[in-house]
């Protein structure tokens, strides 16, 4: 019991407080953004989200008190289970022209969300296992394959945004594991060249981004449907389709710009329908203005900076890599989502962590942040890989 009390005392309550503030903002903004979603019950989505927030806290504290050193024993099963879920979802009923969810009755489980955590754990343990061969090409190739496989499965759902999140997790973890910076630079240059080539390829089907692409115009080797291509390029010129594909981008820009410095006031937003999910940040900008939006981004920044501080203090490679992967995952999602709502990045369907409505994303994000707390607690207690773990831990 004394060990348990000591561990509770070692929880980073400042980190937990920052997360709690973000979740309070989530519920407040969601009430405004979803007031008209369900007729007769303006708190319908808020009440459901409150359940996911409670479940998220439970998962976060369970992860915080879990001995992450045990992952080394069964991380392949975690990875394999995530792959099986990603394959199994293709046999689930189609929803919104996509195979992304398992209907569990009380919630829709999106297997791409736990796949993010599974990849972080797998790469952390794999790099630890290969720590004496970290600069061998075999390490790079195998870790790359471990990342690309779930990326392909998620892309085929189709869900390009989440597939890109996995790659955003991979590169920082690869660098933190000790792979030569030159290798990272080469990978980034190759990606840049591929993106440039893709941009040139896309220029043809869209005739200078003045009209929407059609199937007949697209190269046969391009693994994208016209609607996927439209979502990627619509931010360049949303007026190509102002009433459909470009509608949310245009309205989101109007909403954010209309907020001015201090916003229109809480509950006064009216530009976007269904703004409780991917475009919830536009509600922040419209109702709370630049000051409110900056405050929310400031909270995110404090969470990420604290996570990086925890990573730097960790005495074992696995702990450092887990926190690095978690921070990279959060940072990429925040960057892309905010850029998407501002109309400066492609519409990839990436939700805003801890603010967008949804159960799978909330629980996954809280779970990975719980692992960050776990690493911090082990560092304070002096429990690292290769040292005895406290007996009361799972």
Average pLDDT over residues 319-341: 95
Instruction: Specify if 389 maps to a domain.
Output: no
Binning pLDDT at 50, 70 and 90, where does residue 192 land? Answer: confident
pLDDT, one tens digit per residue, over 270-315 is: 766 667 778 899 999 999 999 999 999 999 999 999 999 999 998 8
Checking if the pLDDT of 106 tops 90, the result is no
Domain assignment present for residue 387? The answer is: no
Look up the domain containing 119 and give its range: 2-381
Percent of the chain whose pLDDT exceeds 70: 86
Residue 390 in any domain: the answer is no
Backbone angles phi, psi at 109, to 5 degrees: -85, 125
Q: Check pLDDT > 80 for residue 9.
A: no
In a domain, 174, yes or no: yes
d(CA 125, CA 75): 7
Q: How confident is the model at residue 229 (pLDDT cuts 50, 70, 90)?
A: confident
In the predicted model, is pLDDT for residue 217 greater than 80? Answer: no
pLDDT per residue as tens digits for the range 139-191: 999 999 999 999 999 998 888 889 999 999 999 999 999 998 888 999 999 98
Q: Find the DSSP H helices in the chain.
A: 2-9, 13-33, 44-64, 71-88, 112-129, 137-155, 160-177, 181-203, 226-233, 247-258, 280-313, 317-341, 359-381
* Per-residue pLDDT band at 1 (split at 50, 70, 90): very low
386 found inside a domain: no
What is the per-residue pLDDT across 38-48, written as a single tens digit (0 to 9) for each?
A: 666 778 888 99
Rg (CA), the chain: 22
What is the number of structural domains in the chain? 1
Average pLDDT of the segment spanning 9-24: 92
Q: Residue 103 in contact with residue 89, Cβ under 8 Å?
A: no
Q: 108 pairs with which residues across the strands?
A: 103
Burial class (CB in 10 A: 0-12, 13-18, 19+), 209: middle
The mean per-residue pLDDT over the stretch 224-232 comes to 72
Centroid of chain to Cα 227? 22
Answer whether residue 392 is part of any domain. Answer: no
């Amino acid at each position: 019991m004394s060990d348990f009390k000591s561990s509770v005392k070692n929880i980073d309550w400042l980190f937990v407080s920052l997360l709690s503030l973000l979740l309070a903002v989530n519920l407040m903004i969601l009430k405004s953004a979803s007031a008209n979603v369900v007729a007769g019950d303006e708190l319908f989505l808020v009440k459901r989200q409150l359940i996911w927030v409670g479940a998220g806290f439970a998962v976060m504290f369970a992860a915080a008190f879990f001995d992450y050193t045990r992952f080394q024993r069964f991380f392949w099963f975690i990875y394999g289970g995530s792959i099986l879920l990603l394959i199994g979802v293709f046999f689930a009923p189609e929803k919104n022209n996509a195979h992304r969810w398992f209907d569990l009755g009380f919630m829709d489980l999106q297997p791409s969300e736990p796949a993010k955590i599974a990849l972080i754990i797998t790469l952390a343990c794999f790099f630890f296992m290969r720590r004496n061969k970290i600069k061998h090409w075999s390490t790079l190739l195998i870790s790359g394959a471990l990342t690309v496989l779930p990326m392909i499965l998620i892309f085929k759902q189709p869900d390009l945004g989440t597939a890109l999140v996995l790659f955003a997790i991979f590169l920082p973890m690869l660098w933190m594991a000790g792979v030569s910076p030159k290798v990272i630079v080469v990978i980034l240059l190759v990606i840049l060249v591929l993106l440039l080539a893709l941009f040139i390829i896309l220029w043809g089907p869209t005739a200078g981004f003045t009209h929407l692409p059609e199937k007949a115009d697209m190269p046969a080797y391009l693994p994208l449907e016209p609607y996927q291509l439209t979502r990627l390029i619509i931010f360049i010129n949303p007026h190509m389709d102002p009433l459909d594909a470009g509608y949310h981008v245009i309205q989101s820009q109007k909403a954010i710009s209309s907020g001015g410095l201090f916003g229109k006031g809480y509950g006064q937003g009216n530009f976007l329908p269904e703004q409780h999910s991917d475009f919830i940040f536009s509600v922040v900008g419209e109702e709370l203005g630049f000051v409110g939006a900056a405050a929310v981004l400031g909270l995110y920044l404090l969470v990420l900076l604290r996570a990086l501080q925890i990573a730097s203090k960790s005495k074992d490679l696995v702990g450092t890599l887990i926190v690095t992967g978690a921070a990279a995952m959060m940072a990429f999602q925040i960057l892309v989502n905010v850029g998407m709502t501002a109309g400066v990045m492609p519409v990839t369907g990436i939700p805003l962590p801890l603010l967008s409505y949804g159960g799978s994303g909330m629980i996954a994000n809280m779970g990975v942040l719980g692992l960050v707390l776990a690493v911090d607690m082990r560092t304070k207690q002096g429990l690292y890989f290769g040292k005895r773990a406290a007996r009361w831990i799972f």
